[in-house]
Amino acid sequence: MKLLLVGGSFNPVHVGHLIMAEEIRAEFDYDLVLLVPSFRPPHKDLVNEPGPEHRLAMLKLAAAGDPSLAVEDCELRRGGLSYTIDTLTEIVGRYAIEGKAGLVIGDDLIPGFGTWHRPADIAKAADLVCVHRRSVDELPLQYPHRYAHNSLIQLSSSMVRERISEGRPFRRLLDPAVYEYIQKHGLYGLQ
């Protein structure tokens, strides 16, 4: 099986995440996209975080019914800082992967990739797939990588959280089940 990992805080998961996962899977012919929510990302603070159990539940709702998507909760089970190399090691040991797993890296993270925990080991363990999140330009990366031709969707979890807390419309930015979940649980300062 050709496996692609998409990690992140997914705080909350939005349609931009899902569209990107679908586009990359199709472009590079992956069989399955594993969505991997981080417990505590080392390079980013979790803002207005409802708790890992809510983020995981929303991610499972967003992936439900799509056989090309699965949710992997290994980082949540491990707790502590979520290091990519640890996740890759665990996943490679549990899944029957054809070749190397693919690992999505957003262009917003490329400039700091060299500061990640064991970046050279990550590059050896996975095929790095760079995706456009902020720019259509291809940023340099010192490790072997491929750039995807994904749509540039100007949507972020912080934008969704901001709209919710300000009482602005946000329904169409989310999978309908995730929207309902946020409504039901009153997450992100829902007014």
Question: How does pLDDT run across 63-95, given as a tens digit for each residue?
Answer: 999 999 999 999 999 999 889 999 999 999 899
Work out the pLDDT band at 141, boundaries 50, 70, 90.
Answer: very high
pLDDT, residue 48, reads 86
Cα 128 to Cα 10, 60, 119, 121, 159, distances in angstroms: 20, 25, 11, 12, 27
Cα 152 to Cα 55, 107, 132, 135, 172, distances in angstroms: 24, 11, 6, 7, 17
pLDDT, residue 54, reads 97
**Total residues found in the chain within this entry:** 191
61 touches 17 (CB < 8 A): no
**Mean pLDDT computed over every residue of the chain:** 95
pLDDT, residue 83, reads 93
Domains and CATH numbers, the chain: 3-154 (3.40.50.620)
Work out the pLDDT band at 109, boundaries 50, 70, 90.
Answer: very high
Q: Identify which has the larger pLDDT, 59 or 47.
A: 59
